[in-house]
Amino acid sequence: MYTLFSGLYKSLTEKEEFFVLILGLDNAGKTTFLEAAKAKFGEKRTKSLIPLTRKYDGKNSDKAPLVNTSKITTTVGLNIGRIDTHGIRLNFWDLGGQEELQALWDKYYAECHAVIFTVDSHDRERVSESKAAFDAMISNSNITGVPLLVLANKQDLPESMGVREVKPIFQDNDEKIGNRECMVLPTSGLTGDGVVEGIEWLIQCIQRNVVNRPTGNQDND
């Protein structure tokens, strides 16, 4: 009888788990966006497998920061976050964006259910470098059809590129993007602007795409 009730309880309480990659160049604001998402939705548990070493430059923002950036530094390897919301569990893999670490990105493609590609919209000098990393990513067959959210991040900084400027750059390869769901969204990880909209859009896309990229349930902690 205990086994029966235990199994019933488990089936009612366990959540579907999805895995989301957060990619982009170093200093694009990936970790700050993740911290803002955890602050907005409430985190259950997170852990950093490898120490961080970068600060997000948001000191020119005219809004009160949502995230304490003094503790956020460059991701050298992998940073993991988890959010329980809308009855599901989102596991985020925030990967280092340095050139030598980009070769490791494709190790995670086959298991992910969505990708967040973060663009530093304030750093115009590195846009072409960011675009090259983006093109290499979407060319990988293991990520075909996976929903893609492109963040025009750091909108809190003056003279940042808006969506009208970023979107044509990162959506000019329609044949590589394919028929996946894709959106370019203005965000600020520092202030939290656009964070909720982006995560909720991803959740809808992931759930619509579950037939093509299924997931399994795992035990809660």
Section 191-196 average pLDDT? 96
24 is in an annotated binding site: yes
More confident residue, 76 or 132: 132
Residue pair 193/187 in contact by the 8 Å Cβ criterion = yes
Share of the chain above pLDDT 70, in %: 76
What is each CA distance from 80 to 10, 87, 92, 106, in whole angstroms?
A: 25, 20, 6, 17
pLDDT of 9 over the 50 cut:
no
- 156 annotated binding-site participant: yes
Task: Kindly tell me if the per-residue pLDDT of 8 is higher than 60.
Answer: no
User: What's the mean pLDDT when you consider all of the chain?
Assistant: 84
Residue 173 assigned ligand-binding role: no
CB of 24 closer than 8 Å to CB of 133: yes
Q: Is residue 155 marked as binding?
A: yes
| Sequential DSSP letters for 72-115 | ---BSSEEEEEEEETTEEEEEEEE--STTTGGGGGGSGGG-SEE
Superfamily of domain 15-208: P-loop containing nucleotide triphosphate hydrolases (3.40.50.300)
Looking at per-residue confidence, does 53 or 147 come out higher?
147
- Between 118 and 42, name the one with better pLDDT: 118
Annotated binding residue 87: no
26 is in an annotated binding site: yes
**53 pLDDT higher than 60:** no
Count of C-beta atoms within a 10 Å radius of residue 211: 7
Cα–Cα separations (whole angstroms), residue 98 to 6, 26, 54, 189: 46, 5, 12, 19
Q: Is 154 annotated as a binding residue?
A: yes
* 62 appears as a binding residue in the annotation: no
Least confident of 5-19, 62-76, 97-111: 62-76
**Predicted confidence (pLDDT) per residue in 74-84, tens digit:** 655 789 999 99
Per DSSP, the three-state class of 46 is: coil
To the question of whether residue 74 is assigned a binding role by annotation, the answer is no
Q: What is the pLDDT of residue 50?
A: 35
- The lowest-confidence range among 41-45, 69-73, 113-117 is 69-73
30 annotated as a binding-site residue: yes
